[in-house]
């Protein structure tokens, strides 16, 4: 078990190395010069050359990579070209809104989708089942930004119920904090509700055909207990797996959602950094997401031990 943990944590290193190389190369090989962006429209060629030199961009690629990679190993993600701040500090500042949005989204998605999936499996072929399947097709197909603007238009502009955009820290009051997160979380959650509900329905339907369900019923257990303690408990592994995948995919969704709702999180930071050719920030954020992704996967794998006693590492 401990050996498994150590082995998995060590496996993070080669993953991060590959991510680092790929991110680094993609950024350098795509057109666009950060020095030109920083220097602005009125700069001379000489100004730009000076800026390039000050940023270390005049060195050969291999040297640049070596410097950057050595710094990473000591926990230093470099300095932003644009903000003139350490990348770690930038990520720290922007982490909270993104984390809160992701948390709200995933909690909302799980709370809605798992019960829906279980009910749909229980009443297989019923109106709820068919309704849910229809909804999930819709949920999969509607783009996040379309849904986002529709929700803003109806809920905020027409009904005036929730703020249109922005983010408030939890220190600025609980309701302002929550009210600013509801719409983004709902927008982002729709696709996960569709995804998780479908998987839950399939896994629970399958579990419901098993012999131990018949045993549970023959014991005179109420249907709710049969569904939760026997069917859902046995269907948990695929459901948790897809929730894990969902959290990982969320990273992509957050970028668009934060833009639509003007939330100053990591998604916005990434978009701004890409537009500004702020290489260290883009590299840092992607590395950070990669670590998060690997850790989430590890957590999912570890959760299997709790969910299914037959699984041992």
* Binding residues with other proteins: total (CB under 8 A): 25
Cβ neighbours, 10 Å, residue 215? 12
DSSP assignments along 171-226, one per residue? GG-HHHHHHHHHHHHHHHHHHHHHHHHHHHHHHHHHHHTSHHHHHHHHTT--HHHI
Phi, psi of 256 (to 5 degrees): -70, -45
**Nearest-approach distance from CB 212 to other proteins, in angstroms:** 4
Beta strands in the chain (DSSP E): none
Restricting to residues 195-234, name those near other proteins by CB under 8 A.
210-212, 214-222, 225, 229-230, 233-234
Closer to other proteins at the Cβ: 53 or 124? 124
Q: Compare residues 89 and 210 and give the one whose CB is closer to other proteins.
A: 210
* Least distance in angstroms from the C-beta of 312 to other proteins: 9
Closest distance of CB 310 from other proteins, Å: 5
Which CB, 4 or 99, lies closer to other proteins?
Answer: 4
Q: Which one, 53 or 217, has the nearer CB to other proteins?
A: 217
> Which residues in 227-286 contact other proteins (CB under 8 A)?
229-230, 233-234, 236
Helix (H) or strand (E) holding 47: helix 45-55
**How far is the C-alpha of 156 from the C-alpha of 143, rounded, in Å?**
19
308 binds other proteins (CB under 8 A): yes
Q: Which CB sits closer to other proteins, 112 or 213?
A: 213
Q: 84 or 310: whose CB is closer to other proteins? A: 310
The nearest distance, CB 308 to other proteins, in angstroms, is 5
Joined together, the tokens standing for residue 8 give: 């998995």
Distance CA 201, CA 125 (A): 11
Restricting to residues 113-142, which ones interact with other proteins according to CB under 8 A?
none
What crossing angle do the helices spanning 87-122 and 233-260 adopt, rounded to 10°? 130
Binding site for other proteins (CB under 8 A): 3-4, 210-212, 214-222, 225, 229-230, 233-234, 236, 307-310, 313
């Amino acid at each position: 078990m401990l050996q498994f943990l150590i082995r998995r944590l060590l496996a993070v290193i080669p993953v991060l190395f590959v991510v680092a190389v790929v991110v680094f190369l993609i950024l350098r090989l795509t057109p666009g010069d950060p020095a030109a962006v920083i220097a602005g429209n009125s700069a001379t060629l000489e100004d730009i050359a000076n800026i390039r030199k000050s940023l270390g961009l005049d060195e050969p690629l291999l040297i640049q990579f070596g410097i950057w990679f050595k710094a990473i190993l000591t926990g230093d993600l470099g300095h932003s070209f644009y903000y003139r701040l350490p990348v770690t500090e930038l990520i720290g500042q922007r982490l909270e809104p993104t984390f809160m949005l992701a948390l709200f989204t995933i909690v909302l998605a799980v709370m809605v989708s798992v019960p829906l999936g279980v009910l749909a499996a229980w009443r297989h072929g019923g109106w709820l089942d068919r309704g849910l399947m229809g909804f999930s097709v819709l949920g999969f197909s509607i783009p996040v930004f379309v849904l986002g603007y529709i929700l803003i238009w109806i809920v905020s502009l027409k009904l005036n119920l929730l703020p249109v955009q922005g983010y408030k820290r939890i220190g600025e009051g609980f309701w302002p904090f929550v009210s600013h997160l509801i719409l983004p979380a709902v927008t982002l959650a729709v696709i996960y509700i569709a995804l998780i509900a479908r998987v839950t329905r399939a896994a629970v339907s399958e579990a419901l055909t098993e012999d131990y369900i018949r045993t549970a019923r023959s014991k005179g257990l109420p249907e709710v207990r049969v569904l939760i303690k026997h069917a859902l408990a046995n269907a948990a592994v695929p459901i948790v797996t897809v929730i894990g995948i969902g959290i990982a995919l969320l990273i992509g969704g957050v970028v668009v959602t934060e833009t639509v709702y003007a939330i100053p999180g990591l998604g916005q930071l990434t978009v701004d950094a890409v537009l500004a050719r702020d290489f260290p920030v883009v590299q840092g954020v992607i590395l950070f997401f990669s670590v998060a992704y690997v850790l989430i996967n590890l957590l999912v794998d570890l959760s299997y031990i709790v969910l299914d006693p037959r699984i041992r590492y």
